[in-house]
Structure formats: structure tokens, C-alpha cells
Structure 1
Amino acid sequence: MSDNKLAYLELLKQTLTDFHRIDYIEYKPLIHDSKRNWRVRLLMQIEKILLGDDYTVCKTVGYNKEDRINGRDWPTYAESMIGLKRLQNIQDCAIDVLEKNVPGDFIETGVWRGGATVFMKAILNAYGIVDRTVWVADSFEGLPKPEKQYAADKGDKHHNKVALAISQEQVENNFKKYDLLDNRVKFLKGWFKDTLPSAPIEKLALLRLDGDMYQSTMDALINLYHKLSIGGYIIIDDWGAVPGCKQAVEEFRSANNITDPINVIDWAGVYWQKS
């Protein structure tokens, strides 16, 4: 790959993660605070009673470079929260399958603001690839409520996180922002259990799972892994972050006699190459 292409992808990684706000102080509404202790709840009540709809109580949050590298924070303005290491992993896997002509499209299941899929499309464009599609699979309404038959998801609270409910329109606009939205970007809107079984995908070279929950992870594995070409890569974003995700992957690998070695990306993400 030429130096210009590498420089473009490096700049895009840093832009998609909003990496350069080193001196930036963010004001985050307390309603988005995951640590709602009694002080936070009291302040929220004061806000409701005294401030009305025009004001909100916020806390200051400083920028942390290591968190942004390792994808440990939820950046307010970035298109991706997965950090530089996991974006680099996408780049490494994508370039490998392109250079080795491993057949198939690219997909991410669970896209948030679309940053990882925007980056996938940028890699294809940088290589001049016009015969592969990037599939963008999400409910675009947040995560589903846990279902009783999936014990590993019991008590999961992801469905309560409003910040995870990003509309398809917003994701499309993020593609447009980087001039990367065309007919080689396809959207699969809905719960994975409904959309993935009938998705018109023939082959995959890159399969990235970011559904957090056991059910979302298992739905993607059951419906898509058999479409992953030999030599293709599967990336699991939440292996180290959500126990239910790791359990789903381990059960699926065991049930299907998958012994390909698992490689660690960072504290959360892992991947393996299908043999």
C-alpha cells in the first residue's frame, strides 16, 4: 500500500475516534451517567424541579489519551468508540484479505454511529475495490431487552442506554460526511434474529461482531459464520467487556469444533482467522 493511502487511513482512524481533543473538557449530562449514586439522583431531582427543560446538570469529563487508544470511553463527537487499536485491527485484517484475494464482503453487526463500517468502506476505496459490499447491520434503535431463554443476558441493561440508539439516518450521514456512501454500502435494519437469517449475503471476508449481548452475538455467529470464507477474519469486539458475549463465542466454537487460535487486540476485542 502506498504511503498516501496509509496516511489517509491513519488520519481517518484519528478522525473517527476524535483522537486529538487532548485539551478538551467535555460536559456530560448526568442523565447519561452510568454510576447513578444517591448524589447523582439528588442532582437529577433538583434539575427536574428547578431547571426545567432549558437546562441540565452536567459533570466535567477530561480527555484521556490511553482510553481513546484502547476504546474505553464513549466519545461525544466521534463516529467510533472502539479506539485506535481495534480500528487498526480492522485495517490489518481487511488489507490481508484484499491482498490475498479472500472472497467476500465486509460486515459489522452492531454499528453504533457507523465508524467501523465507514472505515471498512474507506479501506475498500483506498484499494480501488468496487466488487465488495460493506454491510451495516443494526436495529438503529438500541439494543434489545434480554429474553428469558438466554440466561447469560439476565439483568443486562444495554437496552436502557439511550446513547446506543443511533438512527440509520445518522449513520448514513456519517458515511456522507466522508464521501463514502454509495451503492456498495447496504443497511440491514432490525433485530439480528429477524434480519440476518435472510440477509442476501453470499460470502464474507471480514465479519465483525459488536452486539454486546449473548443473544446478539449468537444470532450473528449462527447466521453468518458459515458464510465467512477460509482465510477470512472474524472480530469479536466485546469478548473482554461483556461476559455474555464471551460465553456465546465459546459455546459456538465448541459446538462447531472451531480450534483456530484466538488473538487478543486489546482489553475488549479478539479475533481469529478461519482455517
Structure 2
Amino acid sequence: MTDRIISASGAPYDGHSRGAMLDSIAKIGFTHFEPAFIVGYTEPFDETAFSSSQATDWLKAITAAGLSCHAFSSHMDLGFENSVEVFTGRMEFAAALGAKVIATNAAARSREASFFRNIDVLLRRAEALQITIALENPGDGSDNVINTAKDGVALVERLASPFLKLNYDAANTASHRPDMERLAEDAILALPASAHAHIKDVRRTAQGWFFTPIGDGEVGCSRLLSAIAALASFPISIELPLRLHRGADAQPVRRYDPVPLATIEEVLTRSLKNVRKALGTTQ
């Protein structure tokens, strides 16, 4: 299969310039890039990062590198009072880059009622922009509207909108629900309700959870990817936030220095090779 989109997330390049990141992703052999604006995962940012002029600059840079944008990550809690305004701006930005999917979290369980009020408005705006909101399970151990695949599937069925799906991440479940043993199988349950998936691997130690090349961790990526291989054209992104790990309390811990570019390229090259092998494609 040659038409499956495999994006490279910008998360591992935290601390490197946009140009260096995009050139590196293209050099490795990716055709698609997933921008990552995730609090705690990347350099601090505010809403000025999502202006129309910034979108123009990003699109020019992505195109110049020979890449395209299908998915966009900008995780936030959609249950706050200002979430509709903030996330609308991020959806507009993502759509301007050509993205068809925008990944975000749902909301803390304590804000469930406001989440449902907000998502009604956001789904109408998503339809106008022709972009799918893909809700992702968190990894911080808190009680969320989506804690497991079962929660996510039920939510998608309840809202019944073609513009609301999941972006399930089995590696997040590792730290979010550390007693769950069959991580890949949980993620496979989410696939029918998903528009996209983040593929990353993680290994648990006494100090917490550390991200590894795809196939070197404990997620069971080969089983998950085998299930994805049966879904024609289902898009995925390799997301490896190598600059951080999750501590024993599941909170993200970010290194002081960026990961060397050579290390990032080695890990992503190995991961892309393993993912393509598991999917049965060389493209």
C-alpha cells in the first residue's frame, strides 16, 4: 500500500529551528509533517502562534521542504470557559496549513458538562472548516472524559458527528492507567471510532516512562500496526517526544537541552522502518 499517510510529529524536534526540523523530516523519508503545539511537550507558546501571518509562514516552510500537513496536534482541555474561542483559532490555523485532522484532549471529568456544551459549538465550526476534531486520551493519570478506548468509543457514538473522532495513543495509556496490561489491544478497540492514531513506544522504569524507538518498548506496536494495516489508508503519525519522559507520577519532565539532531534522526529512521515493515509497505 503506497497511499497511507505516515506523518512525523514535530515533538521530537523540540528546541530545534523550524527549518532544521522540516529538512530533517524530509531527509529521513517522510512525506507528511504533523505540527505539535502541546503544553509541556514543547517550547512555551501563546495564541499569537496561531495568527494568519504565522500560518502563511508555516505553510511556505512546509511546502519548501517538500512536505504536506494532514494532522495537527494542539492539545488542550475543551471544558474551560474560553475553550471555544481558543480552539477555534487553532482549528483555523490547522486548516490553513491543509490539515484535515486536529488532535486535542477532551476535558477533565470535573468539566464534563461544559465540555459537552463547548463541543456542540466546536463541531459546527469544524464542519465549516472541513476539519475533524480527533480527541486523544491523556497520559497524566488524571480522571478524564476519555480514560480508555471504551470511553472514547462511547463518546464518539454519543455525539454522532462525522467531524468528531478519536486520535488514540496506546503509549499514553501506559502512564495514564499503569495497571492496564494489554495496551495495544485497548488501542485496537478504538480504531473503528478513530480518524488518526499516534504511534509511539515507551518503557517503564522505576523513574517513570521513557520513550523509545517504535518496537523497542512495551506498547505492543507490532500488534497495533497489524490491525491498522487492515484498514485501507488509515493515517498515522510517529510521535516520539524524546526531550521528555513521564515521571513515576505520570507528569511530563522535560530535559534542559534539546536532543541532538543526529539522535532524533537515528530514532525516527529506525521507527519509520519498523512501522513500514509492520504495515507491509515501503512507502
| TM-score w.r.t. length of structure 1 | 0.32
Structure number with greater CO (CA < 8 Å, separation at least 6) is 2
Report which of the two structures shows the higher radius of gyration computed on alpha carbons: 1
Q: TM-score, normalised by structure 2?
A: 0.32
